[in-house]
Amino acid sequence: MAKFETRRPVKHSPQQMFDLVADIERYPEFVPLCDSLTVRSRKERDGKQLLVSEMTVGYKAIRETFTTQVLLNDAEKAIDVKYIDGPFRYLDNRWRFEPTDDGGCIVHFFIDYEFKNRILGALMGSMFDRAFRMFTEAFEARADKIYATA
């Protein structure tokens, strides 16, 4: 079982950061370890979007694909990711974007996961841990690049 949580102030608005994290199909362009990501379905429900996505992550010769349900709640600036299938026993991931007085926001990132297979967990666990610690930095760098003129 591995958990990581961080709260990071950024100069971009909650809407900008929500939009950036919600654009999951772009993850292979900048997210550490993400080789590919495909949205399998997309539904609108109660003003929220519900996506089912398949992500392939890799490190050296190891590749694993897993399926998640992603709930995009624009009104609350919240993104919740629930695990459906793949190499994990479970995976719970949450993003929150809280406004700050200067027009920026606090990015709150939480992930809790455990691999089904102990050997795979031993091989990929420390590398996943490092990658998840770099996630918020990767999203902030991407926001700096995309919203440079904003």
Q: In what order do the strands lie in the sheet with 105-115?
A: 2-10, 105-115, 88-99, 78-85, 62-73, 48-59, 34-45
Q: Would you kindly state where each structural domain of the chain is located, as residue ranges?
A: 2-146
**Does domain 2-146 match CATH 3.30.530.20?**
yes
Q: Is 101 exposed, middle or buried (0-12, 13-18, 19+ CB in 10 A)?
A: exposed
pLDDT of 45: 86
Measured from the Cβ of residue 32, the count of other Cβ atoms closer than 10 Å reads: 17
Token couple for 128: 């996943």
Q: What is the pTM of this model?
A: 0.90
Q: What is the pLDDT of residues 2-24, one digit of tens each?
A: 888 999 999 999 999 999 999 99
Which band of pLDDT confidence, cut at 50, 70 and 90, is reported for residue 149? low
